[in-house]
């Protein structure tokens, strides 16, 4: 028993998780931007030697993340209909 606003919130959360799980490019760009942000805002400078030694491993498709999104959508739908 959830309100329409909670139902829409569950749908959006599920869609975002499905997109992140099925499109690894989105997840890769998010992690790259987080790395850049944390590197730029780090108070301790990282030597360029250490920065060059870290290799970025490309992310793979995450089917469990997409399944979690589908489960959230299904649970939201079921709880909304129970109302």
Structural domain contains residue 68: yes
The domain total for the chain is 1
Structural domain contains residue 70: yes
Structural domain contains residue 52: no
- The pair of structure tokens assigned to 51 is 């920065």
Given a cut of 90, is residue 78 above it in pLDDT? yes
Structural domain contains residue 55: no
Per DSSP, helices labelled H in the chain are 4-22, 24-40, 48-53, 63-81
Of residues 38 and 8, more confidently modeled: 8
| Interval 28-70: pLDDT, tens | 888 788 878 877 665 555 555 555 555 666 677 888 999 999 9
Structural domain contains residue 16: yes
For residue 71, the enclosing domain spans 1-38+61-83
Structural domain contains residue 47: no
Structural domain contains residue 50: no
Nearest to 31 by CA among 62, 57, 12, 13: 57
Give per-residue burial for 10-39: e unless 16+ CB within 10 Å, then b: bbeebeebbebbeeeeebeeeeeeeeeeee
Structural domain contains residue 79: yes
At 21, give phi and psi (nearest 5°): -75, -35
């Amino acid at each position: 028993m959830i309100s329409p606003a909670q139902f829409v919130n569950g749908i959006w959360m599920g869609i975002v998780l499905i997109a992140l799980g099925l499109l690894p490019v989105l997840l890769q760009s998010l992690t790259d931007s987080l790395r850049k942000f944390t590197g730029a805002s780090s108070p301790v400078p990282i030597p360029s030697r250490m920065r060059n030694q870290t290799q970025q491993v490309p992310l793979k498709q995450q089917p469990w993340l997409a399944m979690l999104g589908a489960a959230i959508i299904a649970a939201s739908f079921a709880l909304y209909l129970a109302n």
